């Protein structure tokens, strides 16, 4: 299957700008797809506006910070400062979820999440909320900017320095952890460097320390001798090694592959030829991530069956997506706790490789936990979440009146009505049958109606299609 | 199925919770085989108090109050009450009075699986109770059907009683009383009682006769637990063995294990007097006859003679307690098995290496049995360094037997420990004189290394110690240390009260409020993350919570041991 797809894909066609036509019209389906990938998910208003505005304007809007962004950032930064003071890891996790839920610039958070998995650093070892939040801020700062600057910044990031032991690397006793991961996981990938490159590069990072919570270069502990990395010799320092990685021809290709997997498909293994135009764009723009993301979000391949529902939502994407779609405002603390059961604990990736993602997100336990979370959020009967994510509210807001309309509304909102007709029939059957239930006598007509709406919403959210991005 | 049973039981309990005066009648419908009985003797008063509390102004101003009332589950409960009012034709307060006026009793037997329980709701109006029970059964049936757990109602004849069944819930009516259980066979025991043969009832049983005098008639609610059945278990009997495997448990909790061993029952009750609410727990065994396992916590003559808990401005928690480690050392042959004794002697020998030649046993034997602990939030003046979070100061005041000799030894030990600690974090020695008492303290040096430790966490502390007469003070901050030295000096002049109190704990909500005030930034963070708020509204809500806590007054725990009984009292004093 993968090979067939490989053979069938023409790189020129793939990266050309998508122009809606009769065969691939711009509609709710593609608007929902775009918002899922670039913004967790869309609410009803955003979906409608995207359909009206067309792909180009919508992508442009998603890539641009809104006027409210600066005020939002200021408030969240102040909050982060307070959380760091108390070293409270639950508040730290909740803080990021709150950002994702409330941000006016969701693509930025989505990309920060991408980089969190790329430069996977866990507070299990760092054990310093201030450092973790500082790293998160660095990732956000460069999330859609220069990867070159980000790689330099992350190399000197205190959380990363603790995580990969750079701060323990001394002249005569270089620690190879950071040099290895810099090449293997952060910039080049296996097969593009040698063990000797790692040993030599590690010497360049000696004398890198943390003082007062910031990077400090200790000349006395630095190995100032000549080093040969990727065949190039010099008195390289850490910054030079990062630069050498960025100048390595494998780096843009490596990055292109990761972005492709994140935005386009987890199931399609892209050929080097298919990736080359994207890598070329990365190279030409001097690693400007925003430009690469724009290229992906406007490409033919992005709006094709090769990309559609070809990713499994991570637990964070699942939860944040459904809450944003319902315009809910649940407790971020309760959500942070609940997400642990679903298998994703922000700031605590399982290893330096991050979360495996893809089908690994789903098993019988996590699937049940996802359904339980969806029910807890939407039933309004869970004491932790209360009525802060009430599907009835959006149904009322967007004026769906009868059962048919409510069903269509939820299918449009969450699945853009792209479901097997059998599913629709089953859901309609539920509505018909539930109208005949013997409800408790003390329930009002309104109670019955609202309960059925919430139950229907939950049934839609528990469809397999909703697990896909 | 279990859910159905409990849902049914609690739904019925919830909807019937009140009465006008204490009635013995519901107890006469409880079989004498009960292992525990919980009674709401004055439901109407209890409901009124809870209602007043929930609707009091400080509670109404709490964050989330409006939202909590608007929760779906709360709305449904209100609807259910409105429905009952409509169907039964009376306002809920009257329903409470007429349906639960005689009291509510929950009784049962201990069992590993949920054991048999019986709920007796004693009303005053039999026809109304009949209608109410029908209504509740209908609602329950509908509720179960809604949850996709439909059940058919069935009727059984059991020892002459007509028993209704829905799922695993069984009930019958006896005049104005509604009896509900999770087991059908329970009605075999209930049936004779409903026929007037009350000699087999709990009310007439010997075990209740011996306990009833301990419960005051003004109790709003009370509970009785039979302690005999669990003591038949081998595992429980092992708990009481001295010497035995649980020596360490006996050293710290021997008082409670000894009471458990010697008491046939426990009673507990709730009383209220104006703004004062008290929960009391009574055991029919006192210091007389207490076993060796209790010796560290119960004096042989029963005289606790504690000093009062220490009070300083900003106190959060203060405790005065009897704990005689010397008694353990004196009787260690009886506390410890031969193997444990050998382990202890080895440990004791080794401690001399770390305690400058003094053995642990020597130190412990020199301690008296009456000690105090205090947590307080004094004004901070020692440091100007900001700390990420504010940790309250705390102090331990130990009573010394051989005060002169041991005071000097302890001081030398602490100076040695402080010297070693300076290798981890630099500290300066501070010595102060307070009316002839030397307060020796240590200040952390304001340098980068110390500031870097957990966002300046160290700057919450300036550890110090002092000796005032036979009292040895160990304190986490100089500010609290100074205040306590002054208190202890005053106290030396006062005579000690001879009484049977064995511990007194006082929690000051105002002190907790002060502590939250110091850490308000974190409370604001909590509200912003939980309630999606602006910093301004989160700040306002944090202020409301702090104000509410100040309104709560004190929570006190007292434990007294008389010759033949012991009592724990938990006293909540609400300020207005």
Query: pLDDT tens-digit profile of A393-409?
Result: 999 999 888 999 999 99
Tokens of A368: 């049940």
3-state helix/strand/coil string of B537-553:
HHHHHHHHHHHHHHHCC
- Give the angle B59-B64-B65 at the CA atoms, nearest 5°: 40
Tokens of A293: 């993301």
From first to last of its 469 residues, chain A has per-residue pLDDT tens of 444 444 468 999 999 999 999 989 999 999 999 999 999 999 999 999 999 999 999 999 999 998 999 999 999 999 999 999 999 999 999 999 999 999 999 999 999 999 999 999 999 999 999 999 999 999 999 999 999 999 999 999 999 999 999 999 999 999 999 999 999 999 999 999 999 999 999 999 999 999 888 999 999 999 999 999 999 999 999 999 999 999 999 999 999 999 999 999 999 999 999 999 999 999 999 999 999 999 999 999 999 999 999 999 999 999 999 999 999 999 999 999 999 989 999 999 999 999 999 999 999 999 999 999 999 999 999 989 998 999 999 999 998 889 999 999 999 999 998 999 999 999 999 999 988 888 899 999 999 999 999 999 999 999 999 999 9
Give the chain B residue nearest A447 (alpha carbons): B76
Three-state SS for A264?
coil
Q: CA A112, CA A102: separation in Å to the nearest integer? A: 15
Selection from B475, B387, B386 nearest residue B432 by Cα: B475
- Taking phi over 0 as left and psi of -120 to 50 as alpha, with beta for the rest, B101 belongs to alpha
Give the chain B residue nearest A380 (alpha carbons): B72
**Per-residue pLDDT averaged across B47-70, rounded?**
85
Flag if A387 and B389 touch (Cβ within 8 Å): no
Flag if B79 and A442 touch (Cβ within 8 Å): yes
Flag if A87 and B70 touch (Cβ within 8 Å): no
- Give the angle A90-A91-A95 at the CA atoms, nearest 5°: 120
Contact A86/B at CB under 8 A: yes
Residue B574 phi/psi, 5-degree rounding, is -90, 130
B323 confidence band (pLDDT: 50, 70, 90): very high
Cβ B573 vs Cβ B521: under 8 Å: no
pLDDT tens across B235-291, in order?
A: 999 989 888 888 889 999 999 999 999 999 999 999 998 888 999 999 999 999 999
Say what angle helices A129-142 and A147-155 make with each other, to 10 degrees.
160
Contact B447/A at CB under 8 A: no
Q: CA A147, CA A141: separation in Å to the nearest integer? A: 11
Mutate to test the interface with B, among A442, A449, A454, A458 (most CBs of B within 10 A): A442
Cβ A160 vs Cβ A238: under 8 Å: no
N-terminal to C-terminal alpha carbon distance within chain A? 20
Contact B529/A at CB under 8 A: yes
Flag if B71 and A444 touch (Cβ within 8 Å): no
Side-chain half-sphere of A211: how many Cα atoms within 13 Å?
8
Flag if B139 and A442 touch (Cβ within 8 Å): yes
Mean pLDDT of chain B: 88
**Per-residue pLDDT averaged across B559-565, rounded?**
94
How many residues are present in chain B?
A: 576
Residue A282 phi/psi, 5-degree rounding, is -65, -45
User: Per-residue pLDDT for B447 more than 90?
Assistant: no
Residue A460 phi/psi, 5-degree rounding, is -65, -45
Contact A329/B at CB under 8 A: yes
Residues near B411 by beta carbon (within 8 Å), at least 6 away in sequence = B440, B465, B467
CB pairs below 8 Å between A and B: how many? Answer: 99
Selection from A310, A307, A325, A262 nearest residue A461 by Cα: A325
Side-chain half-sphere of B407: how many Cα atoms within 13 Å?
20
Cβ B286 vs Cβ B270: under 8 Å: no
Residues on chain B touching A437 (C-beta within 8 angstroms): 145-146
Residue A467 DSSP label: G
Contact B381/A at CB under 8 A: no
Tell me the torsion sign for CA atoms A448, A450, A455, A460. positive
Note the pLDDT of residue B378: 75
User: Per-residue pLDDT for B497 more than 70?
Assistant: yes
pLDDT tens across B468-491, in order?
A: 999 999 999 999 999 999 999 998
Selection from A200, A301, A189 nearest residue A252 by Cα: A189
Mutate to test the interface with B, among A68, A85, A391 (most CBs of B within 10 A): A85
In order of A198, A263, A277, A449, B149, the CA distances from A299 in angstroms are 37, 11, 11, 43, 52
Residue B390 phi/psi, 5-degree rounding, is -95, 120
Three-state SS for A406?
helix
Note the pLDDT of residue A289: 98
Of residues B73, B79, B522, nearest to A82 (C-beta): B522
Residues on chain A touching B146 (C-beta within 8 angstroms): 437-440
- Give the angle B553-B461-A126 at the CA atoms, nearest 5°: 105
User: Per-residue pLDDT for B118 more than 90?
Assistant: yes
- Please report where in the chains the tokens 């799922």 appear, as a residue: B167
Residues on chain A touching B536 (C-beta within 8 angstroms): none
Three-state SS for A300?
coil
Note the pLDDT of residue A8: 64
Q: CA A219, CA B155: separation in Å to the nearest integer? A: 89
Note the pLDDT of residue B54: 85
Q: What is the DSSP string of A38-78?
A: HHS---HHHHHHHHHH-HHHHHHHHHSPPTTHHHHHHHHHH
Parallel, antiparallel, or unpaired: how do β-strands B169-174 and A214-217 relate? unpaired
Residues near A22 by beta carbon (within 8 Å), at least 6 away in sequence = none
- The ipTM assigned to this model is 0.90
Contact B446/A at CB under 8 A: no
Q: Let me know if B232 is exposed, middle or buried by CB neighbors in 10 A (0-12, 13-18, 19+).
A: exposed
Flag if B71 and A387 touch (Cβ within 8 Å): yes
Contact A384/B at CB under 8 A: no
Residues on chain B touching A81 (C-beta within 8 angstroms): none
- 3-state helix, strand, coil split of chain B in percent (to 5) is 45, 25, 30
Tell me the torsion sign for CA atoms A353, A354, A355, A357. negative
Q: Let me know if B208 is exposed, middle or buried by CB neighbors in 10 A (0-12, 13-18, 19+).
A: buried
What percent of chain B stands above pLDDT 90?
56
Q: What is the DSSP string of B264-289?
A: SEEEEEEEEETTEEEEEEEES--STT
- Please report where in the chains the tokens 């810099």 appear, as a residue: A182
């Amino acid at each position: 299957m993968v090979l067939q797809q490989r053979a069938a894909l023409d790189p020129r066609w793939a990266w050309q700008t998508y122009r809606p036509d009769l065969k691939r019209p711009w509609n709710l389906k593609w608007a929902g797809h775009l918002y899922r990938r670039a913004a967790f998910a869309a609410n009803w208003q955003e979906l409608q506006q995207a359909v009206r505005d067309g792909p180009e304007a919508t992508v442009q809007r998603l890539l641009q910070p809104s006027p409210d962004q600066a005020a939002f950032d200021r408030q969240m930064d102040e909050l982060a400062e307070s959380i760091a003071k108390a070293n409270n890891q639950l508040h730290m996790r909740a803080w990021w979820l709150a950002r994702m839920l409330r941000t006016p610039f969701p693509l930025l958070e989505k990309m920060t999440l991408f980089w969190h998995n790329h430069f996977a650093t866990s507070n299990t070892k760092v054990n310093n909320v201030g450092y973790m939040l500082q790293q998160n801020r660095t990732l956000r700062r460069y999330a859609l900017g220069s990867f070159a600057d980000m790689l330099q910044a992350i190399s000197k990031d205190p959380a990363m320095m603790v995580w990969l032991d750079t701060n323990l690397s001394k002249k005569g006793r270089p620690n190879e952890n950071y040099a290895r991961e810099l090449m293997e996981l952060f910039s080049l990938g296996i097969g593009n460097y040698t063990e000797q490159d790692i040993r030599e590069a590690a010497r360049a990072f000696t004398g890198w320390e943390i003082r007062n919570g910031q990077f400090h270069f200790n000349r006395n502990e630095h190995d100032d001798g000549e080093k040969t990395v990727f065949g190039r010799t010099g008195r390289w320092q850490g910054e030079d090694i990062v630069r050498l990685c960025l100048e390595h021809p494998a780096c843009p290709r490596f990055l292109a592959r990761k972005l492709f997997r994140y935005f386009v498909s987890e199931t399609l293994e892209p050929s080097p030829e298919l990736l080359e135009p994207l890598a070329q764009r990365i190279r030409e723009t001097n690693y400007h991530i925003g430009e690469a993301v724009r290229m992906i979000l406007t490409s033919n391949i992005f709006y094709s069956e090769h990309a559609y529902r070809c990713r499994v939502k991570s637990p964070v994407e699942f939860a944040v997506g459904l809450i944003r779609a319902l315009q809910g405002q649940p407790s971020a603390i309760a959500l942070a706790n609940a997400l642990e059961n679903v298998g994703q604990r922000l700031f605590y990736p399982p290893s330096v490789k991050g979360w495996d993602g893809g089908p690994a997100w789903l098993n019988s336990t996590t699937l049940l936990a996802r359904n339980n979370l969806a029910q807890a959020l939407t039933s309004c009967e869970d004491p932790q979440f209360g009525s802060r994510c009430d599907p009835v509210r959006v149904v009322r807001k967007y004026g769906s009146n009868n059962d048919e309309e409510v069903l269509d509304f939820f299918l449009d909102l969450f699945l853009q009505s792209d479901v097997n007709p059998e599913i629709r029939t089953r859901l309609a059957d539920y509505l018909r049958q539930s109208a005949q239930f013997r409800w408790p006598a003390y329930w009002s007509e309104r109670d019955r109606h609202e309960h059925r709406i919430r139950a229907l919403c939950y049934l839609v959210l528990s469809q397999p299609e909703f697990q896909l991005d | 199925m279990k859910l159905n049973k409990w849902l049914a039981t609690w739904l019925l309990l919830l909807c019937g919770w009140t009465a006008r005066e204490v009635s013995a009648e519901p107890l006469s419908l409880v079989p004498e085989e009960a292992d525990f009985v919980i009674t709401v003797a004055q439901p109407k008063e209890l409901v009124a108090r809870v209602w007043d509390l929930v609707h009091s102004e400080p509670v109404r101003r709490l964050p989330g109050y409006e939202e909590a009332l608007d929760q779906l589950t709360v709305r449904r409960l209100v609807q259910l009450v409105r429905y009952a009012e409509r169907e039964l034709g009376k306002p809920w307060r009257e329903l409470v009075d007429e349906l639960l006026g005689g009291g509510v009793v929950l009784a049962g037997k201990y069992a590993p699986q949920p054991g048999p329980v019986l709920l007796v709701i004693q009303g005053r109006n039999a026809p109304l109770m009949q209608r109410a029970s029908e209504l509740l059964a209908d609602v329950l049936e509908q509720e179960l059907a809604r949850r996709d757990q439909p059940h058919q109602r069935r009727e059984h004849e059991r020892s002459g009683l007509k028993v209704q069944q829905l799922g695993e819930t069984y009930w019958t009516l006896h005049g104005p009383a509604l009896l509900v259980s999770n087991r059908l066979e329970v009605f075999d025991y209930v049936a004779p009682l409903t026929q007037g043969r009350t000699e087999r009832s709990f009310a007439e049983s010997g075990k209740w006769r011996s306990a009833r005098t301990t419960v005051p008639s003004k109790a709003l609610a009370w509970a009785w637990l039979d302690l005999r059945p669990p003591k038949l278990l081998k595992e429980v009997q092992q708990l009481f063995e001295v010497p035995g495997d649980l020596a360490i448990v006996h050293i710290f909790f021997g008082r409670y294990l000894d009471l458990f061993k010697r008491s046939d029952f426990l009673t507990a009750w709730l009383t209220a007097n104006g703004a004062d609410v008290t929960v009391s727990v009574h055991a029919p065994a006192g210091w007389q006859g207490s076993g060796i396992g209790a010796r560290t916590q119960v004096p042989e003559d029963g005289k606790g003679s504690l000093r009062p808990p220490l009070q300083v401005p900003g106190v959060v928690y203060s405790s005065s307690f009897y704990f005689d480690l010397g008694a353990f050392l004196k009787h260690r042959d009886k506390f410890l098995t031969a193997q444990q004794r050998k382990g202890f002697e080895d440990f004791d020998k080794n401690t001399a290496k770390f305690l400058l030649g003094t053995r642990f046993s020597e130190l412990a034997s020199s301690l008296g049995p009456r000690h105090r602990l205090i947590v307080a939030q004094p004004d901070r003046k020692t440091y100007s360094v900001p700390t990420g979070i504010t940790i309250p100061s705390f102090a331990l005041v130990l009573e010394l037997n051989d005060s002169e000799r041991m005071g000097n030894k302890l001081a030398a030990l602490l100076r040695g420990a402080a010297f070693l600690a300076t290798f981890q974090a630099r500290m300066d020695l501070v010595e102060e004189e307070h009316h002839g008492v030397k307060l020796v303290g240590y200040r952390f040096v304001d340098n980068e290394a110390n500031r870097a430790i957990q966002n300046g966490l160290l700057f919450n502390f300036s550890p110090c110690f002092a000796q005032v007469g036979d009292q040895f003070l160990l304190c986490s901050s100089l500010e609290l240390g100074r205040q306590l030295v002054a208190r202890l000096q005053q106290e030396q002049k006062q005579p000690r009260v001879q009484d049977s109190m064995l511990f007194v704990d006082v929690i000051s909500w105002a002190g907790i409020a002060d502590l939250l005030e110091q850490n308000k930034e974190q409370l604001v963070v909590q509200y912003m993350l939980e309630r999606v708020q602006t910093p301004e509204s989160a700040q306002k809500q944090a202020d409301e919570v702090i104000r509410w806590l100040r309104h709560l007054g004190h929570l006190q725990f007292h434990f007294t041991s008389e010759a033949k009984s012991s009592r724990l009292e938990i006293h909540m004093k609400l300020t207005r």
